[in-house]
A and B are shown apart, each in its own frame.
Chain A
Amino acid sequence: EIVLTQSPGTLSLSPGERATLSCRASQSVSSSYLAWYQQKPGQTPRLLIYGASSRATGIPDRFSGSGSGTDFTLTISRLEPEDFAVYYCQQYGSSPSFGGGTKVEIK
């Protein structure tokens, strides 16, 4: 089983700032089979990024994903008020697994 570790656990930032979220895998994720999701309180998770760097339909271009192997990053270039949420990474190279999440909160 591939274990995903997300850091930091909580990121305190102001609107307009850049957010950088990390996701590290316990072993290489084949073919960059990594996705990112956003979840707001009381809502269903929403797919942001798949294939490590491809934006899902309707996702603003301030969200970008990068990385390969065991190290992946989600970057939000300029935080909008609606971006404050919890973000999860997920690998699907083998049996799927999720990271523990990073909460992006308003500073």
Chain B
Amino acid sequence: EVQLVESGGGLVQPGGSLRLSCAASGFTFSSYWMHWVRQAPGKGLVWVSRINSDGSSTNYADSVKGRFTISRDNAKNTLYLQMNSLRAEDTAVYYCAPGRGWFDPWGQGTLVTVSS
């Protein structure tokens, strides 16, 4: 069974940093592109970033470019999102998901709250 477990969320002050992790199991992690998607409270889904299977190529939404960094450790079957210079508008549940195109399945998400 595919499992994706996000962690690392929490309360952080504006301008602060957090690193999210996504532990994957039940599939060949090193063969899949991986994505981060976020959802602000009561709002819709927003794609954040993606990384290819070997980590050599990354892309970001304009809203996080230059502040967030996606990476992966295929030996540990883990995806990361380093978030710096956090803003109030980054407050959201962050999901990880595998896929070259569509996303399936999704993790349960981890909540990031940016507030003073």
Interface on A for B, CB 8 Å cutoff? 1, 33, 35, 37, 39, 44-47, 50, 56, 88, 90, 92, 95-101
Residues of A contacting B88 in the complex (Cβ-Cβ under 8 angstroms) = none
Asked whether B47 is an interface residue with its Cβ less than 8 Å from the other chain, the reply is yes
By the criterion CB–CB under 8 Å, are A92 and B95 in contact? no
By the criterion CB–CB under 8 Å, are A44 and B106 in contact? yes
Residues of B contacting A97 in the complex (Cβ-Cβ under 8 angstroms) = 47
Residues of A contacting B62 in the complex (Cβ-Cβ under 8 angstroms) = 1
Interface on B for A, CB 8 Å cutoff? 35, 37, 44-47, 50, 59, 61-62, 95, 99-109
Distance in angstroms between the alpha carbons of A45 and B101 in the assembled complex: 15
Distance in angstroms between the alpha carbons of A39 and B108 in the assembled complex: 12
List 6 contacting pairs A-B, 8 Å CB cutoff, sorted by A.
A44-B107, A56-B104, A88-B44, A90-B47, A95-B47, A98-B44
Distance in angstroms between the alpha carbons of A44 and B109 in the assembled complex: 8
**Across chains A and B, which 8 residue pairs bring their CB atoms closest together, nearest first?**
A92-B101, A35-B102, A47-B104, A50-B102, A96-B47, A98-B45, A44-B106, A101-B44
* A43 CB to nearest B CB, Å: 9
B interface, by DSSP: helix, strand, loop or mixed?
loop
Q: Would A47 and B103 be within 8 Å (CB), given that A95-B59, A95-B61, A96-B35 are in contact? A: yes
Residues of A contacting B35 in the complex (Cβ-Cβ under 8 angstroms) = 96
Distance in angstroms between the alpha carbons of A97 and B35 in the assembled complex: 12
By the criterion CB–CB under 8 Å, are A90 and B103 in contact? yes
Which one of A39, A56, A96, A100 contacts B50 once the chains associate, using CB atoms below 8 Å? A96
By the criterion CB–CB under 8 Å, are A47 and B44 in contact? no
Known A96-B50, A98-B37; further 5 A-B contacts with Cβ < 8 A:
A35-B103, A45-B103, A47-B103, A92-B100, A92-B101
Residue in chain A with minimal CB distance to B50:
A96
